[in-house]
Amino acid sequence: MTAARPLGALAATVLAAAVLAGCGPAATAPEGELEVFRTRFDLGGDTARIAVENTGERAFTIVAAEIDSERFADRMRWSGRATTLEPGDRVDLPVELAAVACPAPTTPVERIRVETRDGGELLADGLGDPYGQIDALVDEACFAREIAALVELEPLGVREPPRAGAPGQLVVRARPTGASGEVRLTGLRSTVLLALDDGAGRVEHLDRDAPLTGPDAVGGFRIPVVPARCDAHALAEDKVGTVMPLELELDGGGMRLLHLRMPDGVRLALYELVAASCGLPDAGG
């Protein structure tokens, strides 16, 4: 349970509904606010949080919670232990995200539902999504599927720096599928863990102009990486520092981001590169 923190004006509109339990008296209607968001711990995977805040004068115990959205293939349910919220308390309930349903509707029907032990419910129309994280996740997931239909991007490994101070090279294979469409790599971006190297020093962005499909397809590319900072704690606690942002164009439609995740072996090789370059103990994954 976290300390109380108002969800604010962007919280989804909530309707508290008292549900009859058999022939007994009506359950006490809980009062609260709901929204869906993601923490930094969720960004490296496929999880999100249902934030529940008790805005009433009575405690209630949460026994079930779920997200139902037309933008996802299935309902997403919280599976934790029963949690009691005193007035003013807030809790963030983790849920595994279902596969995104592409193409996603522009005006989806979405609802958050929280059930309490005495049979009451909190219902929210819409997800809240105060930081636009779910919107961004859905948009990029559908874009990534369009890209994958045209070209397979596969991180192969990391070439160690030839000398101290030089960058390592993250090697990515780009194998066209043969389907009709044009994909072009237009730029690379750094992460919280990995900076880029332009030959003169550390930078946060590199321009590129490389066709990944068609007769002139390059077949792959390298990303010159150096540590963004030498921080043993940041390395040990890293969640998204090896997820590389690529700037891509699809059929000349303008730049969009695709975050390329690393397989375990490549992710560990990048950690070892940072540790070696910084003189830190082996991160060990």
pLDDT at 106 over 90: no
- Give the Cα separation of 112 and 92 in Å (integer): 13
Whole-structure pTM value: 0.84
**CATH classification at residue 37:** 2.60.40.10
Q: Which domain holds residue 91?
A: 13-138
pLDDT at position 162 is: 85
- Give the Cα separation of 83 and 64 in Å (integer): 9
Which of 138, 168, 185 is where one domain is finished?
138
pLDDT tens-digit series, residues 192-210: 999 999 999 999 999 999 9
268 phi and psi, to 5 degrees? -65, -35
Task: For residue 283, tell me if it sits in a domain.
Answer: no
What SS3 class is residue 268? helix
* Cβ atoms within 10 Å, residue 263: 12
Task: For residue 177, tell me if it sits in a domain.
Answer: yes
Judge contact between 285 and 269, C-beta under 8 A. no
At residue 3 the predicted structure's pLDDT band, cuts being 50, 70 and 90, is: very low
Judge contact between 188 and 208, C-beta under 8 A. yes
pLDDT at 238 over 80: yes
Judge contact between 36 and 149, C-beta under 8 A. no
Handedness of CA 131, 132, 138, 141 (dihedral sign): negative
What SS3 class is residue 267? helix
Query: In the predicted model, what is the mean pLDDT of residues 263-282?
Result: 93
**158 and 199 in a common domain:** yes
Q: CB under 8 Å to 130, separation ≥6 — which residues?
A: 7, 8, 10, 11, 35, 37
Query: In the predicted model, what is the mean pLDDT of residues 13-28?
Result: 52
User: For 136-198, what is the HEC assignment?
Assistant: HHHHHHHHHHHHHCCEEEEEEEEECCCCCCCCEEEEEEEEECCCCCCEEEEEEECCCCEEEEC
pLDDT at 274 over 90: yes
At residue 163 the predicted structure's pLDDT band, cuts being 50, 70 and 90, is: confident
Task: For residue 248, tell me if it sits in a domain.
Answer: yes
What are the beta bridge partners of residue 32? 54
Angle at 72 between CA 67 and CA 76, to 5 degrees: 30
**188 and 126 in a common domain:** no
Task: For residue 201, tell me if it sits in a domain.
Answer: yes
Task: For residue 181, tell me if it sits in a domain.
Answer: yes
H/E element, 205: strand 205-211
**169 and 68 in a common domain:** no
pLDDT tens-digit series, residues 41-85: 887 778 999 999 999 999 999 999 999 999 999 999 999 999 999
Q: What domain count does the chain have?
A: 2
CA-closest candidate to residue 238, choices 203, 277, 267: 267
**44 and 63 in a common domain:** yes
pLDDT at position 218 is: 96
What SS3 class is residue 247? strand
**215 and 96 in a common domain:** no
Task: For residue 85, tell me if it sits in a domain.
Answer: yes
Task: For residue 4, tell me if it sits in a domain.
Answer: no
pLDDT at position 11 is: 58
Task: For residue 2, tell me if it sits in a domain.
Answer: no
